[in-house]
Chains A and B, each alone.
Chain A
């Protein structure tokens, strides 16, 4: 499956093509092939959303530098967990504990740092190891018991959220643990996860008037927040693994038909467990970015983010039944969700109606990209 999705590597000389021609293969127009990528519909949705907000909120500051930074950051955060959700969905499973994991991982970083005096490096490493252990456990239970991952991870959703509240009360007697920035001192970890890149570039941008200048002479946007780079980096790696490697084929196979995949020698168990661990890893990256940006961990961080991740993956063309989807699509899905979520605020729609519009916009985007996809693939 992955092979048919991967774009042609390079244009081959005609001779070789002719030699390899097989009467069972039907040649396909390259443009048509592009249109049939699972992410094409989502790309159409992205364009629709930008046109919509260009008309309704064009002059509200949404497309000024700091407005762009705002919805890009929100989308980037969502890309982190949407990529993981997409891989897992293609592999045929769900993880509903992503949101709770964000809160839990945050506490695993903050409590040791603030209350036990651990270094930023030690507590961050501890959080990654701890989270991936929980991810392993999720995957192991799902594979072993053959229960739907929906149920197993719903249980982890409650357990992790409960542990986050209970443990933060036990260790700190409060549900928000502040002072992370101070406890980190001059460690490199905060810069790595919440630093701002390309500062000189943005100073130059403000000098040439591309970005607004504040009264004190600093640019309105100081640079690119680390979370955006993390999101792009993780998405790139996930995309390459999915489309260019054997592991990618295994993921498609495990999600398409696990038994058939096992019969041809795909290590389905290991693939699925690894995917659950990757999901936990991504949730922890999300939490780490957030903690070092805001300097505190709270027990309600990440509430309902698991649904946003799954929604983004589905908007991006992943099938709920597994075996089909793409990382690029999930990124577009996250972009649609992020832009709609913040864009509604720019249009000045009354707050009471916020969720109605969020739902309506998402439905419109999904209907639109579904319609486009059917049109180009000719499926009924």
Chain B
């Protein structure tokens, strides 16, 4: 009986796997583009980029595969780029989450004749040093600095930067930029909140209780913003903070902007970071045209004034 069950399970798995594998390689003749991100599976922000990639794949009749290290370990990301290189795709689109880790795999891909476009994390200089076609993204430090300047105008003196992805240098740069924009030292005003919503909620609550003179908050994305929004609502303390700004957008953040809990959100327009690299690369192959400069997709600030347009597509296309 028992061994019969095992046999059936095994046969089922053995039959089902090749079938599903077969379905995925159905349109194998379309050129393949691989998008490699540094995000762990739990980061919901990347959903917009995944949607953009799906749209681009449909519009340009290409295959686009999104890949990421499940735990966000950048050394694993380097292996994924090496894997993609071995597959000889028509193009690799990659973030530069850490230059020194990704330098050799990306240079190896370019040496093998695979064009690389860099997006999101990283700087235009790094992209150029790699020999990539172009960089499409938002300069992180400048975006943070812009938020800091806004907070200064609102009269903030002591702030909290809620960092849910502390192992990514870009995250630390955002907090540093904010501190510089405000004209104060970062010091201990950045907390490592973790990704889990309950952890974020409680760690921020503990910090704000211990530092009652905090009057500005910066969150680095939906993972840190959503629990903080809930916290401010639960404790009815939103009015205590002169400026609450978050990076990126989702449904909760746009609601918070509408009801005044949050002052503004820094939008880097991720849809463009997914759609444009595929579009540029395809058109480069077809017509030989490509923009001569890098593309800054952000920072744009979403406030109460322009929220209605953004709201409809939050978390899906915005």
Contact = CB atoms under 8 A, between A and B. Distances in A.
Contacts of A215: 111, 113
Given A174-B172, A351-B65, A364 B79 contact: no
Interface string A100-128: 00000000000000000000000000000
A367 interface: yes
A56 B18 contact: yes
Given A300-B71, A351-B66, A364-B14, A67 B167 contact: no
B116 to A, nearest CB: 15
Nearest to B101: A294
Contacts of B210: none
Contact of B98 (A66, A176, A357, A364): A176
Contact of A346 (B13, B22, B68, B87): B87
B300 to A, nearest CB: 27
A74 interface: yes
Interface in A361-375: 361, 363-364, 367-368, 370-371, 374
Nearest to A175: B167
A293 B100 CA distance: 10
Given A347-B24, A364-B14, A62 B86 contact: yes
Contact of A67 (B24, B87, B168): B87
Contacts of B85: 66
Contact of A348 (B25, B103, B113): B25
B166 A296 contact: no
Interface stretch (B4-12, B237-245, B254-262): B4-12
B100 A295 contact: yes
B112 interface: yes
Q: A interface, by DSSP: helix, strand, loop or mixed? A: helix
A353 B41 CA distance: 11
Contacts of B150: none
Given A181-B100, A295-B100, A303 B72 contact: yes
A222 to B, nearest CB: 9
A249 interface: no
B167 A349 contact: no
A302 B167 CA distance: 12
A214 to B, nearest CB: 5
Interface in B213-270: none
A348 B7 CA distance: 28
Given A67-B86, A70-B79, A298 B65 contact: no
B9 A348 contact: no
Contacts of A153: none
B199 interface: no
B75 interface: yes
Interface string B80-108: 10111111100000000011110110000
B20 interface: yes
B10 A296 contact: no
Interface in A52-84: 52, 55-57, 60-62, 64, 66-67, 69-71, 73-74
Contacts of A367: 6, 9-10, 13
A301 B84 contact: no
Contacts of B101: 294-296, 298
Given A371-B7, A371-B10, A355 B83 contact: no
**Which residue, B21, B72, B85, B98, has most C-beta atoms of chain A within 10 A?**
B21
Contacts of B99: 178
B184 to A, nearest CB: 15
- 9 A-B pairs with least C-beta separation: A67-B86, A300-B167, A56-B21, A295-B100, A296-B100, A294-B101, A303-B71, A66-B86, A178-B100
14 contacts: A56-B22, A69-B86, A175-B166, A176-B98, A294-B74, A298-B101, A300-B167, A303-B73, A342-B83, A345-B87, A347-B21, A348-B63, A357-B17, A367-B10
Interface of B: 3, 6-7, 9-10, 13-14, 17-18, 20-22, 24-25, 32, 41, 63, 65-68, 70-75, 78-80, 82-88, 98-101, 103-104, 111-113, 166-169, 172, 186, 192
Interface of A: 52, 55-57, 60-62, 64, 66-67, 69-71, 73-74, 165, 173-176, 178-181, 214-216, 218, 220, 290, 293-296, 298-304, 342, 345-351, 353-355, 357, 360-361, 363-364, 367-368, 370-371, 374
Given A298-B75, A342-B83, A349-B24, 15 more contacts: A52-B14, A56-B25, A61-B87, A62-B86, A173-B172, A294-B101, A299-B166, A300-B71, A301-B73, A301-B75, A304-B71, A351-B68, A360-B17, A367-B6, A367-B10
